Amino acid sequence: MSVEVITILMFATLMGSIAFGHPLAITLAAVATFFGLLTNGFDVPALIGLFANNAWGVFLNYTLVAIPLFIFMAQILDRSKVSEGLFEALYIVLGGLRGGLGMAVIVVSTVFAATTGIVGASVVAMGLMAGPALLKRGYDRSLSAGIICSSGTLGILIPPSIMLVVYGGLTGQKETSVGNLFAAAILPGLLLSGLYLLYVGIRCYFNPKIGPPIPAADRTATVWEKTVMTLKNFVPPFGLILTVMGTILAGIATPTEAAALGCVGALALAAATRKLTWEVITLACVSTAQTTAMIMALFIGGKFFSVVFLSMGGGDVVADVLLGMDVNPYVVFTIMMAVVFFMGMFIDWAAILLVVVPIFTPIAMDLDFNPLWFAMMVCINLQTSFLTPPFGYSLFYFKGVAPAEYSMGDVYKGILPFVAIQILGLAMLVVFPQIITYLPELFFGR
């Protein structure tokens, strides 16, 4: 059986197994085991050795220590309700504008993304706080659902991001180190947040019925009171952002060390708001252990899959097909982005990274693409995986906590414009790659 046929069968088996709902980590490892034995002459000891070496290599990766630390920080912040005060302040400050309450949700989600790095925490928190508030103020249900789901996904992109830590740990290259990825993700994340704000502001300006301003009777706070309220609720999370990102960008701490500082800062914020209890700490530790175990299981299964795939020559088959086309390199780039986008509709982001990064990165290098730019394009593309049906996690996070008035149809309808905005953002980053590369060059040099 030729390598080309085995390559097609391996991917078809993976997608079919996922379609039947089998756990991703087990599916990746099982498919790798079957095709690994098929291509190595059923040499079981050799395959076990390959699996053991790669699993051990994952556990020895120091960069991945940042994962449980960032998750713990996010869990503490989520339970200390840091975002609630900021939402209440911006509710008053921006509520008088058409679409102002929706824009407040986007701003809070952006700040929350920069302190948690976990989509589930952002979407659930904003769904609980803003979902009922937007309904009460007469906002269109589909627009409200789209705002909360899309802005919540910024948590996977704006650093500290678990996805960027995983990507940096996968490649092990200086150009795509976690520090470089964190710096590169800041401006694209703010760009997407700005595009969301622009869309909501323009649409509600021309159609105020879908995003009406708060009545004047409910806006009695003075300018001074608004300023004090905003600063009081903005300074603590912003200080935590500076602690984590500032130490990384200044070269004072590695991402792993900065994650530890972030945990200390999150505990301090929780203590300052009198939300730091043994129950909160216990629940945060349990959730951190569960999430970390899930990510590491995916990491091991995905790593095993990619190693088997590459060792049997599957990577060469894909490279020969893409590089053998007599077309502009950006056509090949578009094909790779389309594959990532399509896989995001069905597969978890971590599994996608573990499968496509070892295959696509060498192709991107052969096409002379900037490795950091290409890495960020993949990660930004994967942000859409949280929104695209049928398995967009943000949609189910929101529906699980939203008031009953929000139907699944409202949610699906609401996210479509924001998926289009994310694709527009990707196109802008193709035209203006400096948006990605400027900060890494500024802080770390070329």
Number of helices and strands in the chain (H, E): 21, 0
Domain range holding 93?
Answer: 3-444
Please give the Cα distance from 116 to 321 (Å, whole number).
40
Dump strand ranges (E) for 278-323: none
Give the total number of structural domains in the chain. Answer: 1
- Residue 149 token pair: 């789901």
- Residue 244 token pair: 């984590």
What is the pLDDT at residue 377?
95
What is the pLDDT at residue 218?
61
* pTM for this entry: 0.85
Q: What is the pLDDT along the chain (446 residues), one digit of tens a residue?
A: 678 888 888 888 887 887 676 777 888 888 889 988 888 888 888 888 888 887 887 777 777 788 888 888 878 877 777 667 777 777 777 777 888 889 988 988 888 888 776 777 778 778 887 888 888 888 999 999 999 999 988 888 888 888 888 888 877 777 888 889 999 999 999 999 999 999 999 999 999 999 888 776 666 667 777 778 777 777 888 888 888 888 888 888 888 888 898 889 889 888 887 888 888 899 889 988 888 888 788 788 888 888 888 888 877 788 888 877 778 899 999 999 998 998 888 777 877 888 888 889 889 998 999 999 999 999 999 888 888 876 777 887 888 878 888 888 888 899 999 999 999 999 999 999 999 999 999 887 76
What is the pLDDT at residue 1?
67
Do the Cβ atoms of 35 and 308 come closer than 8 Å? yes
What is the pLDDT at residue 284?
87
* HSE of 252, CA atoms in CB hemisphere, 13 A: 10
Do the Cβ atoms of 75 and 275 come closer than 8 Å? no
CA distances 49 to 45, 46, 76, 314, Å, are: 6, 5, 39, 20
